[in-house]
Amino acid sequence: MLSVMFSALALGADPAAMALPVLSLQDSASDEIPSIAQQEADGKTPPVDVSPAGLGQKPEMSFDTSLSFDAGYTWQFKSSLDQGGRVAHGRFHTDGKVTVPVAEGFSMSLGWRYQYDHWTFQDVVAPWNNINTAQINLGFNWRIDQNWMVLGGGQAMWAVEEGGDWNDALIGGGVGAFAYSFSKDLTLGGGVGVRSQLEDDALIYPIIILDWQITDRLSLDTRLTTGWANQSGAELVYELTEDLDAGIAAVFDYERFRLDDSGPLPNGVGTTETLPLTIYLSWEPVEDVSLTFYAGATVYGRIKSTNAASQDVYADNYKPAPVIGFQGAVRF
């Protein structure tokens, strides 16, 4: 599937000030929304199927027992740092989620993720190298009626450079949000999330939920297809065939992690911000199995090092660079 994603933020601003824009969309259709029972009898998905899990928007939401696995790799080619030197970045990720219905219209989900980031620096002292991130999420989805849904969840995450102290790398947080279906083609929602930060104040951020079926084949939503982590963004998707989608995408990614005990800044903190713009194709060769291939460019990138006393000692931006990647997903 090719898809387009949009994300607008105050780039370069302090992380606590980061915010997605409020989206104001109106659907001119006045179609009456079919009842949940009628939609299920017709084999259709109920109107709200978007859920923020842990610390952001995630692609799937269900009130049936389900299990999903994803894995993928992304490579950002070498880019020049503004203050001299070059940087490249590779990321492998794998994640999964199990959803279990607890009562009518209410389900709980447990999710997990492992992420490995490899940073390569050239002609500059490397502030870090390899980063390991592990996280678990616990969430709930409560469908109040055919229009309203309430969503919530919490997350624990450990992000640390190889050689760093896992016991000093815990980040926790949670979210709460709601969604409303104006018609069978338009769902909007919003909420707020909060999470702790290593050597910094807690981060409070908005959550935006959008699911807009513009035409039979064209849709705009915040259910991100690629596996870039800690992401906020949107995608414009066009259905080429029943098994192949296409689109364009923008995703903002923010990472903060504990540094190596014996590195340039022992027990310090590293921060990265990236904004990749991509196009992608997503193919479903068999039911519930998808393969996604994407390519584009990281149009904004920033790295920062903070010492154990919470003092910023190094910060630099890097130039736009090509990015490619792939992801596979299985749903049960």
Model pTM score: 0.78
Q: Which residues in the chain come in under a pLDDT of 50?
A: 1-61, 228-229
- Inside any domain, residue 279: yes
Contacts within 8 Å (CB) and 24+ apart, 101-106: 101/63, 101/64, 101/65, 105/63, 105/142, 105/143, 105/144, 106/63, 106/140, 106/141, 106/142, 106/143
The per-residue pLDDT for range 129-176, each reduced to its tens digit, is: 999 999 999 999 999 999 999 999 999 999 999 999 999 999 999 999
- Inside any domain, residue 221: yes
CA distance 124 to 316: 11
- Inside any domain, residue 41: no
Residue 60's pLDDT is 43
CA distance 80 to 124: 11
- Inside any domain, residue 34: no
CA distance 149 to 142: 6
- Inside any domain, residue 104: yes
Residue 142's pLDDT is 94
- Inside any domain, residue 218: yes
Domains: count for the chain: 1
- Inside any domain, residue 98: yes
Q: Which pair of structure tokens corresponds to residue 203?
A: 């981060």
CA distance 331 to 70: 9
Host domain of residue 74? 3-13+48-331
Scanning 206-293, the segments in alpha helix (DSSP H) are: none
- Inside any domain, residue 22: no
Closest CA to 146 of 27, 29, 35, 30: 35
